[in-house]
């Protein structure tokens, strides 16, 4: 039977938590201070250490240092409402999970049920990491450069916990791949992994996409609809382009993250959500906060465990490794044996890869089709530099950011003539571009409508 040490200075909390843990099949000892906890630990190493953060004689996390072997005890920390920083610190020090007060019974139950597995999972990941490191990959992520080794460490550490992760990095660096990997290496792997691109759903629909709606809750809602949160139950929700989420919805998302419950549009009864949230953005989240695109409170809540994906140009020999990998795949598919000329490899290193791994993958595909046997340097990647002749856009100080982005989007589109190219140049996804254009159309429609009424 697994043993749990419970540390809390609130006698009531000690009592109910202890009853709860016993009902889950643990033997339990209780301590009301760090000192008392240390005495217990010297007698019997617990399999689970469930501790309050604030104790009369110090912080619960300090107990991590008293564990004989870090790997065989799972540390779960209970933090007060506003202590995201301490939760981050706890995870950094090796806590495997944390709960926010008031402790939600369903969450605690979920944690206790999987806690005995976390140790195994961590050991498995550790082995996997060492093994894969030799091969220059981690799950489906390829690369053996130093920044990637650091990334694998972070992914391996955070995957088995339920921490929220904020993935940042330029377009095409593998944020979605990393999110999928975190899911695959967690105990949620058998439940769904659902990606939602917040920039691709119209602002009017995103709330009902996320939380679902009841029949008749708005025009067009002709039947009940389960949202992403419900469908991802037990699994992971990947909120891509989080800065594109409308502000009102960011408030609601924050509430869900803090309370673990949500309500369908058109209802008031809360539904509990056992969903791990991973979010990503290819903008700097700090500047998104200062531009008013990302709410600061949500940013702090998401940023419990930040991971930044290194750009390809800083990944040294990974460029060649990835290029050869993508070429191998194509050679296998087409039963061919095409090769890169040495000069082409050199050109790959010289290129700056603004579109990162996605650009490299597309490049290899294109070059593969165009080449006979050898991919010669005439097929080396070319820079699509911003032409000096591109027209200038002038804006008067005092113009709103929304207006500026609209004018820039329209001007870029007119210049490129292709939505794909315009999106690349603007550094946004094609879906986001479509979404914006649809919104502008709507706005114009409304204006015309008003004018017609006025006339």
Ligand X SMILES: Nc1ncnc2c1ncn2[C@@H]1O[C@H](COP(=O)(O)OP(=O)(O)OP(=O)(O)O)[C@@H](O)[C@H]1O
Q: Which of residues 352-381 bind ligand X (CB under 6 A)?
A: 357-358, 361
Contacts 24+ apart (CB under 8 A), 387-394: 390/415, 391/415
Contact 235, 183 (CB under 8 A): yes
Per rule CB under 6 A, is residue 174 in the interface with ligand X?
yes
Nearer to ligand X among residue 96 and residue 432 (C-beta): 432
The SS3 call for residue 193 is strand
Residue 249: contacted member of ligand X, Mg ion, none (CB under 5 to 8 Å, by partner type): none
- Nearest-approach distance from CB 111 to ligand X, in angstroms: 29
Binds 429, which of ligand X, Mg ion, none (CB < 5 to 8 A, cut-off by type)? ligand X
Instruction: Single out the residue of 173, 191, 432, 435 in contact with ligand X (rule: CB under 6 A).
Output: 173
The closest residue (CB) to Mg ion is 176
Q: Which of 60, 139, 160, 172 binds ligand X (CB under 6 A)?
A: 172
Q: Which of 30, 53, 25 is nearest to 41 (CA)?
A: 30
What's the rounded Cα separation, in Å, for the pair 282 and 431? Answer: 14
| CB nearer to ligand X: pick between 86 and 432 | 432
Q: For the CB of residue 418, give the shortest distance to ligand X in the complex, in Å.
A: 17
Minimum distance from CB of 359 to ligand X (Å)?
A: 9
161 binding ligand X? (CB under 6 A)? no
Question: Strands 165-168 and 305-308, how do they pair?
Answer: parallel
| Cβ-based nearer residue to ligand X, 77 or 159 | 159
Site for ligand X in 424-453 (CB under 6 A): 429
The number of residues in the chain equals: 455
Residue 129: contacted member of Mg ion, ligand X, none (CB under 5 to 8 Å, by partner type): none
Task: Write down the least CB distance from residue 169 to Mg ion, Å.
Answer: 9
Q: Alpha helix locations (H) across 205-352?
A: 206-211, 228-231, 247-259, 285-290, 296-302, 318-334, 342-350
Q: What's the min distance (Å) between Cβ of 328 and ligand X?
A: 12
Q: How far apart are CA 220 and CA 120, in angstroms?
A: 48
As a whole number of angstroms, the distance between CA 112 and CA 74 comes to 10
Cα dihedral across residues 271, 277, 283, 286: positive or negative:
positive
Q: Contact residues for Mg ion (CB under 5 A)?
A: 176
Task: Report the residue closest to ligand X, judged by CB.
Answer: 174
Nearer to Mg ion, 187 or 315 (CB): 315
> What radius of gyration, in Å, describes the C-alpha atoms of the chain?
26
β-bridge pairing 97-100 and 305-308: unpaired
Question: Rule CB under 6 A: is residue 141 a binding residue for ligand X?
Answer: yes
Only one of the segments 73-81, 99-107, 170-178, 227-235 lies at the binding site for ligand X (rule: CB under 6 A); that segment is 170-178
The CA distance from 254 to 329, in Å, is 42
Check binding of 143 to ligand X (CB under 6 A): yes
- Establish if 308 lies at the interface with ligand X (CB under 6 A): no
Cβ 177 vs Cβ 278: under 8 Å? no
Taking the C-alpha atoms of residue 7 and residue 32, their distance in angstroms, rounded to an integer, is: 5
Interface residue with ligand X, options 60, 136, 160, 169 (CB under 6 A): 169
Query: Scanning residues 273 to 302, which ones bind ligand X (CB under 6 A)?
Result: 282
- If one asks whether residue 177 binds ligand X (CB under 6 A), the answer comes out as yes
Q: Which residues bind ligand X (CB under 6 A)?
A: 141-143, 169, 171-177, 282, 357-358, 361, 429
């Amino acid at each position: 039977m697994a043993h749990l040490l419970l540390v809390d200075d609130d006698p009531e909390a000690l009592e109910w938590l202890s009853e709860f843990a016993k009902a889950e099949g643990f033997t339990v000892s209780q301590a009301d201070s760090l000192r008392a906890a240390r005495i217990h630990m010297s007698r019997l190493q617990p399999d689970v250490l469930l501790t309050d953060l604030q104790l009369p004689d110090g912080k619960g996390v300090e107990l991590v240092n008293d564990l004989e072997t870090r790997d065989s005890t799972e540390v779960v920390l209970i933090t007060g409402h506003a202590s995201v920083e301490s939760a981050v610190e706890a995870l950094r020090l090796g806590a495997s999970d944390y709960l926010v007060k008031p402790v939600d019974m369903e969450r605690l139950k979920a944690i206790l049920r999987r806690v005995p597995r976390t140790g195994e999972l961590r050991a498995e990941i550790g082995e996997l990491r060492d093994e894969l490191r030799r091969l220059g990959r981690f799950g489906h992520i390829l690369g053996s450069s130093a920044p990637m080794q650091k990334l694998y460490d972070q992914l391996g550490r955070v995957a088995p916990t339920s921490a929220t992760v904020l993935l940042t990095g330029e377009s095409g660096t593998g944020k979605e791949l990393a999110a999928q990997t975190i899911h695959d290496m967690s105990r949620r792997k058998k439940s769904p992994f659902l990606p939602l691109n917040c920039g691709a759903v119209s602002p009017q629909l995103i709330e009902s996409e996320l939380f679902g709606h009841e029949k008749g809750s708005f025009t067009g809602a002709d039947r009940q609809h389960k949202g992403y949160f419900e469908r991802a139950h037990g699994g992971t929700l990947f909120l891509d382009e989080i800065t594109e989420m409308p502000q009102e919805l960011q408030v609601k998302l924050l509430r869900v993250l803090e309370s673990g419950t949500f309500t369908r549009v058109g209802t008031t009864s809360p539904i509990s959500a056992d969903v791990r949230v991973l979010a990503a953005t290819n903008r700097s989240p700090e500047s998104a906060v200062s531009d008013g695109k990302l709410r600061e409170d949500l940013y702090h809540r998401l940023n419990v465990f930040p991971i930044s994906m290194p750009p390809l140009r800083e990944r040294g020999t990974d460029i060649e490794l990835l290029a050869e990998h993508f070429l191998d795949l194509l050679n296998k598919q087409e039963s061919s044996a095409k090769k890169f000329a040495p000069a082409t490899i050199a050109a790959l290193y010289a290129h700056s890869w603004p579109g990162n791994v996605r650009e490299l993958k597309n490049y290899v595909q294109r070059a593969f089709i165009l080449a006979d046997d050898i991919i010669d340097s005439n097929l080396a990647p070319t820079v699509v530099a911003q032409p000096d002749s591109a027209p200038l856009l002038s804006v008067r100080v005092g113009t709103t950011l929304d207006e500026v982005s609209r004018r820039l989007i329209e001007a870029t589109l007119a210049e490129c003539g292709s939505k794909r190219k315009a999106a690349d140049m603007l550094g946004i996804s094609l879906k986001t571009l479509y979404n914006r254009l649809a919104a502008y159309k709507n706005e114009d429609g409304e204006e015309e409508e008003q004018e017609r009424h006025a006339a």
